[in-house]
A and B are shown apart, each in its own frame.
Chain A
């Protein structure tokens, strides 16, 4: 029997980017996964945690565990929310076996595709120059790709998946894994720095010839897209799941 996956769609994706949820669902079902979307889910608590409001996170963390503990795996199209669940919930659960299990079975979508389902290539065609934005939490907390600071063998399964798509060319950036400047409440609290960082990211992609800008995290893309549209740049923004779904 196909494993039952609990689909974790972060609150802002649910509300603002339903197409990302739909694409994620489509991909998982395409690969024969039995997916359920538990309706009582809301938010993992990341915005509160990043602001230091841990008391406000506690009830959300406990709810999250209750909602998702019974699935074989939890899959989410957002690295930073997955990192929240895997790396920042410990203080709410002391020696809780259920939480330890949840931690081990929660995956970012591309991670699930490549490490659990062992998918290495995707069929389909996407004849565009695609710029991959390496979202920091996926990169440096979940280690979903190698970061430029560390002396390690380079790797990047999501990039490899993209490159396996016919006609798709991944662009080469000057600063391969620099932060986009979103950073949750940082985007508002440090508006000036945040926007300059975003602008620089967009500029790097422009120079590299990116036509479609993608990432494993919609939050970075929300910020970059906001800048791109304000400045009327000819770059289209798509979550990586949307590209994959188009290729099915």
Chain B
């Protein structure tokens, strides 16, 4: 099962990098969203994959009876999902505002903060 998931993660990373190398801001953002999911799956897989055994402890015991699913990566992934989702939402809004104001989503044309014909510093009085 791990092998399959690992191949899927690799696929996600490939697609994410491909999209992030694009010049369109929207495609870059999609790439970032996919990258976030690839990372989440990576953490999840790293915490070992087990099926159908929830980490529940019977009332009379202190430790689980059988090998159980690892709850920690699930907690980590949950945190990471929330964070990356909120950041993605923020970046979407930011990109939309930037598109409204700058009239382009082509990153090469976004040269307002760093103008293309920047003056060289003065050479003498």
A, B in one complex: no
- Give residues in A with beta carbon < 8 Å to B: none
- Give residues in B with beta carbon < 8 Å to A: none
